[in-house]
A and B are shown apart, each in its own frame.
Chain A
């Protein structure tokens, strides 16, 4: 009986090399990400530390027994430092979000005190901008009291939204409203819908996505009235999405109103 021997050989050298290369590049990407995270953390610290001293010293001059004119100079210096700090933190925040270096820490949170705090910050912003816009808070009666959410990040997003609303509204009102999202699908995950609406200048409908692009302001002319880095909404949307939520704008009546809606998917409504 003759014996037949079959032999199949395939050269896997190339495959193996490709696999090694892929592993190597994943590792390098991971390391690059770590380097970026460390750099961002260091930069944040290096920037805040001297600004902290500058701002403290301006406050000290304001409190001192000096002529009003100098107090005013110190006040402007302090406001400018505040502004600079805000811009830098925004740039750093966006880089952090993009580097996925932001950790979302959901904790059981009472909605009402969180909302009151937001309103308090909005009042302070109103005052800082030298405006007297009416502020209101509406929480729908059927909204649960307790949520599992990252209060710090939710606060960051909503402070951004209310500050924007106040900046772009000359007179009238800004309203912060919260309610459970209404869904047509019965099995849809529970969502909380928080909207900030204002009676400001509004935006053309075709610009409603552009506002989420980095460094974009709807009115980008040098003569524009409002300053800002154009990063607030970009960061806010990234953060909202990291939390499994979304952020959108709508202009119910163009050129008359602006409304941002932040929908937060809730992992556990208690």
Chain B
């Protein structure tokens, strides 16, 4: 399996920095997007690059839910079937059935635990 990157879609600068730093300790590369629209654009530009999308839910311009729908409706695969994990403090999305219904593969609750994030990255990515 070739080394692939993570696309982190998150509007909060502090959270982006923190998650990037944790993922870096695993030797996995991360690209960031600041809202759902940027995330979709980045994914369309380099669909082969990513094995996992970490998706915030509440974001300006395009929400994580809408961005996921857009990705799942994409004419090409990749990126259509890329793994998408919701990362959110919104308890409504702390439920597997709910996130599945929105086309996502799972969720991590905020405040995140480093262990949970690391476990997830291990499952979807191999270190470069």
User: Interface residues, chain A, CB within 8 Å of chain B?
Assistant: 44-45, 48-57, 59-60, 62-64, 85, 152
Q: List 6 A-B contacts (CB under 8 A).
A: A56-B117, A57-B18, A60-B18, A60-B22, A62-B114, A63-B114
Q: Which of B9-17, B29-37, B47-55 contacts A (4 or more CB under 8 A)?
A: B9-17
Q: With the chains together, A60 CA to B18 CA distance in Å? A: 8
CB-CB < 8 A to B75: which residues of A? none
Q: With the chains together, A45 CA to B117 CA distance in Å? A: 20
CB-CB < 8 A to B91: which residues of A? 152
Per-position binary interface string of chain B over residues 67-97, scored 1 when its CB falls under 8 Å from any chain A CB and 0 otherwise: 0000000000000000000000111000000
Q: A60-B22, A85-B111 in contact; A53/B17 too (CB < 8 A)?
A: yes
Q: With the chains together, A44 CA to B58 CA distance in Å? A: 13
Inter-subunit contact B12/A53 (CB<8 Å): yes
User: Interface residues, chain B, CB within 8 Å of chain A?
Assistant: 12, 14-15, 17-19, 21-22, 25, 58, 89-91, 110-114, 117
Identify 13 new A-B residue pairs, CB closer than 8 A, beyond the known A49-B12, A56-B112.
A45-B58, A48-B89, A50-B12, A50-B14, A52-B14, A52-B110, A53-B14, A53-B18, A54-B14, A55-B111, A56-B22, A60-B18, A60-B21
Q: With the chains together, A55 CA to B113 CA distance in Å? A: 8
Q: How far is the CB of A46 from chain B (nearest CB, A)?
A: 10
Inter-subunit contact B15/A53 (CB<8 Å): yes
CB-CB < 8 A to A53: which residues of B? 12, 14-15, 17-18
